Chains A and B, each alone.
Chain A
Amino acid sequence: MPAQELIPHLFRTEYRKIVSVLCRHFGFDQIETAEDIASDTFLTAAETWGLKGVPQNPVAWLYHVAKNKAKNHLHRKILYQDKIVPEIQNTNSEIYVDEIDLSPQNINDSQLQMMFAICNPSISTEAQIGLSLRILCGFGIEEIADAFLTSKETINKRLFRAKEKLRQEKIRIELPLPSEIDERLETILRTIYLLFNEGYYSLSQNETLRRDLCLEAMRLCHMLVENKGTNKPQVNALLSLMCFHASRFDARIDKNGKLILYEDQDVGLWDSDLIRKGEYFLNCSASGDKVSKYHIEAAIAYWQTKKEDSKEKWESILQLYNQLLLIEYSPVAALNRTYALSKANSKEEAIIEAEKLNLEDYPFYFTLLGELYTGIDIIKAREYFLKALSLVKTQTDKNAVQKK
């Protein structure tokens, strides 16, 4: 792979590792220094590799350079302190510098700890996702801005404020106590799921970027599954859920980047490998005594991997949505539950229920009503579809509604 292709790729995979390790070494308050050194390492790589060619082991090269830069930084810092405060005692500064540990074990631990540091309830979810994308997924500011459909300035400000806040809170790079893990994991899982949804349902037209968001979310969740302390049932459930959804990546977008609705998808394009992985993690999630919303959503997603309609399928999906709504209300779950009701019970019953939902601000509310009235009252069905069409904002959604 030539340098100009290799570097962005390595940035995605190695940037976060270097930042996490350095940040753990320096302390969270030095996160910008860690980021600067990591970025600088890639800049040096771009300059050197362009001239001299890509080294034999590019990753080791990056680690080596990052280590040297970190060492130089610490030396400069010590010198500076020496001049200003001559009486300062720099005990063991040399040993300290040498300890920067880029072993696989330390890289993994540092990344995991970084995840807990970033997904901290003291900053907003948007800030958590932004920082996760930047630090844990190696996304550029422009890509983050694109994913959130906002400007680079807004993202820069948001990330700056978030880091400032985490510093004030004196966040440490460490794993929470075992007794706190479940509670802290909730924030992390929510961030990961939002990150995934950001990609899966994003308004951004950049298809590659969207898929990357989903894959990164899955990767972060995988990291939690691989660590003993965080390999909890709800983590496996979320990973299972994402595998099931991701299995339809190739089937849900056509050649022109248009969304293909579930019922029109070519089942042959569903990724059976990911479906199997989803089933595997769903099995792993079946322990403990707590049913999380991820468990229920994973079970629904499992049924969705079975294309053919059956009484059992829709009855199961309906009951799962009933359960999901008891845990947490969301308009999307309410709409989907009503659709499942039409399949499991009857359209007539679903129409009565749909009309109680009170979701007139939702274009898909009218799509649902249009769908329910199809075959019962074609004039009403048409009216609802047109109403939905007048409400949708993005072209992708417009196409989806128009098809109906």
Chain B
Amino acid sequence: MAGKTINENKFMEIKMKEFLLIFRTDFKNTPDSSPEEIQATNKRWMDWIGGIAAQNKLFDKGNRLANNGRVIRANKSVIDGPYTEIKESIGGYIIIKVESYNEAVDIGKGCPIFNVGGNVEIREISKS
């Protein structure tokens, strides 16, 4: 219980900001994985997110997104899949709470999405 107090104090001192981390990659052209590879990928993600949580910097563990989807265009026409015009699509997101963009970038660099040629977009969540 003593630990909790310490952390509460830290929150009082430092103003934390929330950042959304969006993971994108070309999921369509990712080769099929064996069960072992899937397990290894899951472990990398869990270890990465667990590491953020262990620093008490995870605000929302976010979600993984399914590969398919719908896009509604300006003229209200509906198309299948988010990746008809762009190759990459969003695979998931998390929200972290850190002091600065620098810190958010440092955390983002550890993301396993880079192993499959993806990228991470970081956006501060606007509070105003």
Q: In the bound complex, how far is the Cα of B56 from the Cα of A319, in angstroms?
A: 17
A353 at the binding interface (Cβ < 8 Å): yes
Q: In the bound complex, how far is the Cα of B47 from the Cα of A333, in angstroms?
A: 14
Given A361-B6, A362-B3: A329 and B53 within 8 A (CB)?
yes
Residues on the B chain within 8 Å of A347, using CB: none
Interface residues in B23-79 by Cβ distance below 8 A to A read 43, 46-47, 49-51, 53-56, 58, 61
Interface size class, chain B: 10 to 19
A181 at the binding interface (Cβ < 8 Å): no
B15 at the binding interface (Cβ < 8 Å): no
Query: Which one of B49, B53, B55 lies within 8 Å of A358 (CB-CB)?
Result: B55
Is A353 within 8 A of B54, CB to CB? yes
Query: Which one of B3, B54, B56, B58 lies within 8 Å of A338 (CB-CB)?
Result: B54
Given A319-B46, A357-B54: A326 and B6 within 8 A (CB)?
no
A55 at the binding interface (Cβ < 8 Å): no
Number of A-B contacts (CB under 8 A): 60
Residues on the A chain within 8 Å of B10, using CB: 358
Is A332 within 8 A of B54, CB to CB? no
Residues on the B chain within 8 Å of A332, using CB: 3
B4 at the binding interface (Cβ < 8 Å): yes
B7 at the binding interface (Cβ < 8 Å): yes
Query: Which one of B7, B43, B53, B58 lies within 8 Å of A331 (CB-CB)?
Result: B7
Residues on the A chain within 8 Å of B49, using CB: 322, 326
Query: Which one of A315, A325, A331, A361 lies within 8 Å of B50 (CB-CB)?
Result: A325
Count chain A residues whose beta carbon lies closer than 8 angstroms to a beta carbon of B: 25
- The 0/1 profile, CB within 8 Å of A marked 1, for residues 1-29 of chain B is 00110110010000000000000000000
Is A330 within 8 A of B3, CB to CB? yes
Given A331-B7, A332-B3: A322 and B55 within 8 A (CB)?
no
Residues on the A chain within 8 Å of B54, using CB: 325, 329, 333-334, 337-338, 353, 356-357
Residues on the B chain within 8 Å of A331, using CB: 3, 6-7
Is B47 within 8 A of A345, CB to CB? yes
Residues on the B chain within 8 Å of A319, using CB: 43, 46, 50
A294 at the binding interface (Cβ < 8 Å): no
* Nearest 4 A/B pairs, CB to CB: A322-B50, A331-B3, A325-B53, A334-B54
30 sampled A-B residue pairs with Cβ under 8 A:
A315-B43, A318-B47, A318-B50, A319-B43, A319-B46, A319-B50, A321-B50, A322-B49, A322-B53, A323-B50, A325-B50, A325-B54, A326-B50, A326-B58, A329-B7, A329-B53, A329-B56, A330-B4, A331-B6, A331-B7, A334-B53, A334-B54, A337-B50, A338-B54, A341-B47, A345-B47, A358-B10, A358-B56, A359-B6, A362-B3
B binding-site residues for A, Cβ under 8 Å? 3-4, 6-7, 10, 43, 46-47, 49-51, 53-56, 58, 61
